[in-house]
Structure 1
């Protein structure tokens, strides 16, 4: 098997969580084999397992390579990808989610006595793809009111949150959509992440089909890790606001092609692979 791509760094914790099977277990022998293929030492994996067990994220039965890890309920819920996010992303890439020209804004003024809530709502806005226009004022090109409202209610700051929509937005004298997007979002950094993802997808595609189970797992986990790294900070701006052609659409199409091939391979019943496989199957059916 080829050496792992040195530019794809996979944290040990990410590897462990990626190996959870449909029955919520991890085969330790399989885990150690994939870790070795990725250049991780057995000691590195053992220490990570020990930390995860101490945090209550897994239970541990047995010893060494014959051990079985079992994910707790909180862990199973925390690692599930947002499938609707993935579906929307690919719908945008294929021109099936056209932008209506509406900007969605949210403003908050939370007192210092509720600093934790203030920081949390700010983090939520950024997580949902928002960009800061100025202090306490964020904008997104996609609807987010329901999720912001739910977050504010959970934090007890509904009275400190204002949302509005507009088709007439000016930022620092800029009124054209692409100019606003280029000013507010780090498009160069997002493009660089997707360039890296495209390179990984092309290397994975060239290695498929693969017969060795460990190689298949290593390829799939490498692809998933790089995909998460690229799309995690992506605000999913509509194509109307992005430079064209946009590298993100090309990279994600290459990833979908890889997952379609991986889905047809003899991969073990791992949850992460099923989640991605389901979305790819929908994309393929809709094409």
Structure 2
């Protein structure tokens, strides 16, 4: 079934190569070209990408053409790894195992212009963790994040410029109801749409995996890479708000349930043959979903 405009997932050649790294830290060029063809990438695009990655020191190449083997460096291997701790926390929230305690967590920073690069890096990290701006240099989230922020602050060497605080009484523009605050501080409509798209994309691929038609290894790898890429894109923007702050039913819950089901089928199909390390990394997450255990919030290590 060829992709339609609605279910097409944009994959770059770089992401494709990184996704096909096997457990022995190699990429088989024959496998790479086969999957690239399904994704409508030309051989020239693949060759140019390989050349660029080798030049950057991301890979070392042995052999030529489709018989070549790319050997990944440590930096390349980390590129598409899912953040397992955060993914587990998402599913724990969905199962009601991470209820909100009503506490807002805030970080304020005043970094001088002379350290602009560190200031920008800290702001980017805070937003990545789901922080929403309250006013200049002051950000809030609903989850414990102090350990994660402190680690980045220590790395940047700006500890004297950062303040941490918590409150059970947050009022913004006269609004103090937690759900209304969440709707004001985070783009919930946009987030809902991204989750709905993820659910649609996943459902289409799940139907293929459940269908009677056989799926060869390149097609299986293509589905896995598309699913992982789209999931990572959605996860990047998700502030991991607790269900108590979200409209119900929340489309993210259904989308993540479909993703877990899709990976279960992918893992069953991939079992007889060697598969990229992407499969093992997501297998760890699927195992947690299948056998749930209480997980703390990211950064809340007690």
Q: TM-score, normalised by structure 1?
A: 0.97
User: Relative to structure 2, which stretch is displaced further, 124-133 or 45-54?
Assistant: 45-54
For the residue of structure 2 that corresponds to 1:164, the secondary structure is strand
Indicate whether 1:99 and 2:100 are aligned.
yes
Query: What residue number does 2:3 align with?
Result: 4
Deviations 1:45-72 (A, max 9, x none): 1111111111111111111110001110
Conserved 8 A contact 1:4-1:38: no
For the residue of structure 1 that corresponds to 2:171, the secondary structure is coil
For the residue of structure 1 that corresponds to 2:61, the secondary structure is strand
Query: What residue number does 2:44 align with?
Result: 43
C-alpha RMSD over aligned residues? 1.3
Q: CA deviation at 1:79?
A: 3.3
- Pick from 287, 292, 296: which aligns with 1:281? 287
1:20-39 aligned at under 5 Å gives the runs 20-39=21-40
**Could you tell me how far apart the structure 2 residues matched to 1:238 and 1:110 are?**
30
Deviations 1:117-164 (A, max 9, x none): 110110110011101111100001111101111111111110000001
Residue segments in structure 2 that go unaligned for 5+ positions in a row? 294-302
Conserved 8 A contact 1:4-1:39: no
Matched residue count: 286
Query: What residue number does 2:298 align with?
Result: none
1:135-174 aligned at under 5 Å gives the runs 135-174=136-175
Query: What residue number does 1:246 align with?
Result: 250
Conserved 8 A contact 2:15-2:80: no
Q: CA deviation at 1:78?
A: 4.0
Conserved 8 A contact 1:12-1:48: yes
Query: What residue number does 1:257 align with?
Result: 261
Residue segments in structure 1 that go unaligned for 5+ positions in a row? none
Query: What residue number does 1:203 align with?
Result: 204
Q: Which runs of 4+ in 1 moved over 6 A?
A: none
Conserved 8 A contact 1:108-1:137: yes
**Could you tell me how far apart the structure 2 residues matched to 1:20 and 1:4 are?**
25
**Could you tell me how far apart the structure 2 residues matched to 1:201 and 1:151 are?**
34
**Could you tell me how far apart the structure 1 residues matched to 2:230 and 2:80 are?**
16
Conserved 8 A contact 1:4-1:37: no
Q: TM-score, normalised by structure 2?
A: 0.92
**Could you tell me how far apart the structure 2 residues matched to 1:238 and 1:105 are?**
16
**Could you tell me how far apart the structure 1 residues matched to 2:142 and 2:292 are?**
25
**Could you tell me how far apart the structure 2 residues matched to 1:179 and 1:268 are?**
49
- Flag the structure with more relative contact order, 1 or 2, with Cα contacts below 8 A and sequence separation at least 6: 2
